[in-house]
């Protein structure tokens, strides 16, 4: 999507800054900055916003050879409006957008090439029947590519209801290797019969999910797997912008996974990259390069010379 960020409430005539956003593209940029080879498969309009999205991804080192454009609708738009302190209101304009016309055929090239990890989110599935079918087709095709499936629930109430989300996401669980969700999103993909967090995690592991990663915001995160669980506190940083922190977290987790790191190291990198996002403005602009991962351990107020 194109992203417009206001510097004050819109009704007061705040100025708007233009950038790009999107859950999967944020993760792609985060992984590319950490030195991984990343392909982004998606659909943009043949408009200036669409050109900006593709130009930004390409400039960040993301392979866009599997991206496509369409005249079926304009590139989607999201507007971020600050309201008070670090509270931000988000409005989506994605109905009948280019992305809403995505279908499995648009992923043909992407799903014909080997990959180690396939990452999808509930945001794309929320855009309509075609995008939902595309997500489903992708996760089903992953084993043939040799790819582990990573799914971030990433529920957006502005795009669909909890009932719609649960009806779509629950059938996908059995195809997922790494599930990422905040604690309040877990009920949308776990068994409907499960009423506690413990039962929900168990239901997902029973379906074959290898790792259930629960984001707990300022309280850190926890990973559950058949061998046990591991929790880690969040990295304390000054909060500038919480939007995009979840995607940064996922990028860090998948980066360490691709590096062959154990669960504990994956979670450590995840909370680190999430902290970079929280301490920076924008969805992806503040994400670290690999040689910057240690910056948050530098004393506050220090100058790097």
Query: Domain with 282 in it: what CATH number?
Result: 3.40.1190.20
77 in any annotated domain? no
Residue 257 lies inside a defined structural domain of this protein: yes
Confidence of residue 305 (pLDDT cuts 50, 70, 90): confident
Residue 61 inside a domain? The answer is yes
Provide the pLDDT confidence category of residue 88 given band limits of 50, 70 and 90: confident
**Overall average pLDDT of the 150-176 stretch:** 97
What pLDDT band is residue 304 in, cutting at 50, 70 and 90? confident
Helix, coil or strand: residue 211: strand
Does residue 78 fall inside a structural domain?
A: no
Whether 137 maps to a domain, the answer reads yes
Q: For residue 269, give its domain range.
A: 23-70+103-287
Q: Which residues are catalytic?
A: 247
Q: Which residues contact 77 (CB under 8 A, 6 or more apart)?
A: 1, 2, 3, 4, 49, 92, 93, 94, 97
Is the CB of residue 112 less than 8 Å from the CB of residue 135? no
Question: For residues 10 and 7, what is the distance between their CA atoms, to the nearest angstrom?
Answer: 8
Determine the straight-line distance between the first and last CA of the chain, rounded to whole angstroms: 37
Contact assessment for residue 43 and residue 69, using Cβ atoms and an 8 Å cutoff = yes
For the cut 90, the answer to whether the pLDDT of residue 86 exceeds it is no
Domain-embedded: residue 177? yes
Contact of 44 with 73, CB cutoff 8 Å: no
Q: Mean of the pLDDT values across residues 276-300?
A: 93
The pLDDT of 242-268, averaged and rounded, is 97
C-alpha span between 57 and 32 (Å, rounded): 10
Full-model pTM: 0.96
Number of compact structural domains in the chain:
1
* Residue 1 within a domain: no
Q: Does residue 302 form part of some domain?
A: no
């Amino acid at each position: 999507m194109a992203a417009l960020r206001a510097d004050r409430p819109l009704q007061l005539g705040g100025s708007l800054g233009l950038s790009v956003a999107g859950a999967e593209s944020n993760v792609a940029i985060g992984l590319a900055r950490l030195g991984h080879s990343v392909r982004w498969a998606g659909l943009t309009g043949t408009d200036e916003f669409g050109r900006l999205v593709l130009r930004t991804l390409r400039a960040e080192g993301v392979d866009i050879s599997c991206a496509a454009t369409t005249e079926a609708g304009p590139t989607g738009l999201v507007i971020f409006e600050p309201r008070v302190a670090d509270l931000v209101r988000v409005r989506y304009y994605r109905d009948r957008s280019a992305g809403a016309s995505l279908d499995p055929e648009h992923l043909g090239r992407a799903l014909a090439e080997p990959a180690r990890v396939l990452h999808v989110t509930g945001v794309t599935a929320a855009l309509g029947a075609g995008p939902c079918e595309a997500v489903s087709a992708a996760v089903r095709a992953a084993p043939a590519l040799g790819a582990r499936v990573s799914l971030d629930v990433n529920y957006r109430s502005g795009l669909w209801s909890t009932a719609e989300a649960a009806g779509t996401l629950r059938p996908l669980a059995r195809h997922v290797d790494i599930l990422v969700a905040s604690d309040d999103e877990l009920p949308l993909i776990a068994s409907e019969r499960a009423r506690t967090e413990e039962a929900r995690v168990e239901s997902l592991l029973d379906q074959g999910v290898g790792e259930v990663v629960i984001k707990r915001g300022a309280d850190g995160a926890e990973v559950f797997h058949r061998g046990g669980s591991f929790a880690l506190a969040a990295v304390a940083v000054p909060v500038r912008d919480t939007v995009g922190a979840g995607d940064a977290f996922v990028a860090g987790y998948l980066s360490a996974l691709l590096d062959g790191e154990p669960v504990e190291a994956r979670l450590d990198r995840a909370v680190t990259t999430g902290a970079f996002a929280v301490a920076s403005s924008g969805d992806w602009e503040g994400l670290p390069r690999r040689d910057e991962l240690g910056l948050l351990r530098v004393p506050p107020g220090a100058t790097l010379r």
